[in-house]
Amino acid sequence: MKAKTHKHRLRITPLDVTIIVALAGMLGYVIFKASTGLNYHWKWEVIPQYLLRFSEADQTWKPGLLTQGLITTIRLSLWSGIMATILGIIVGLFRVSPSLFKRQIATTYVGLIRNTPPLVLIFIFYFFIGDQIMNLLRIDDFVYSLSKESKEFMGIFFGPMNRFPQFLSAMITLTLFEAAYIAEIVRAGIESIETGQWEASTALGMSRTRAMLHVILPQAIQRMLPALAGQFISIIKDSAIVSVISVEELTFQAQQIMTTTYRSFEVWTTVLGMYFVLTFMCSLAVRKLELTLKR
């Protein structure tokens, strides 16, 4: 016999309609008061040039300052997200390790990072630790030794190479900060797996490592995915804080434009929309991945 499939139909109740109408009314009232009640002259025509500009020299369209900042934010969030995920998984595995030494290291790291404000962490790393590490690794010499073609190629992934030390400092700081939260997500995901799964793996003759790789982690990843997605979106939003060390991401560019144009509302409303579109697209991608894994 064929199993019957029940499709969930979208039902709109009178309460839903009332809530939607109330929210639409509130939004309309806010927009009306903003356009008429404030003693402020809106000039939205200044914004497009910062999104896309036409270069007379090259006779081509090029990204404006806000678009350049958005690209830098994407680069920074992507690299920080990848590195934080790798480090977070390692620390998360240490958190559930039978080894007391590994557990103590992971617990100390997580406790230290999670109880430190990110702004303070950025200042400490950039002005005290980062400067010494950059000198030790000779990052400036490395950038200077690159050919023009190499700089252009690496610029695709890391942005302008003359700002590479600042970008690297910001990436490492975000990685260390976000990895602590990802580690807790990994720990909670692994510990949520039933004890019977471990016992069944042991009965089949699997070592702890093989059981973790082939049995526990595949199940835990599905449970961790929504939280990991939320944390990656948080990385995008947290990246705004690195503007304090002059990394030319979206928030930094908005601050520069606001200083020269004094168009605070227009600039920050545009930036708000750009952040929302970016994070919303990430949410849709993760939702699609969740559905794929369920199938």
Q: List per-residue pLDDT tens for the chain, 295 residues long.
A: 444 444 556 677 888 788 888 888 888 887 777 666 666 677 888 888 888 887 777 778 888 889 999 999 999 999 999 999 999 999 999 998 888 999 999 999 999 888 888 888 888 877 776 667 777 777 778 888 888 888 888 888 888 888 888 888 888 888 988 999 999 999 998 888 888 888 888 888 888 888 888 888 888 888 888 888 888 888 888 888 888 877 888 998 999 898 888 888 889 989 999 999 998 888 888 788 777 777 7
Cα(282)–Cα(81) distance, rounded to whole angstroms? 12
Predicted confidence at residue 8, as pLDDT, reads: 55
Residue ranges of the domains in the chain? 63-294
Tokens of 96: 């559930």
Predicted confidence at residue 4, as pLDDT, reads: 47
Cα(51)–Cα(240) distance, rounded to whole angstroms? 18
Residue 214 DSSP label: I
Q: Residue 54: in which H helix or E strand, if any?
A: strand 52-55
Question: On the CB side of 280, how many CA atoms lie within 13 Å of its CA?
Answer: 6
User: For the structural domain made of 63-294, what CATH number should be given?
Assistant: 1.10.3720.10
Predicted confidence at residue 78, as pLDDT, reads: 92
Q: How many other β-carbons are positioned within 10 Å of the β-carbon of residue 250?
A: 27
Nearest to 110 by CA among 170, 184, 175, 189: 184
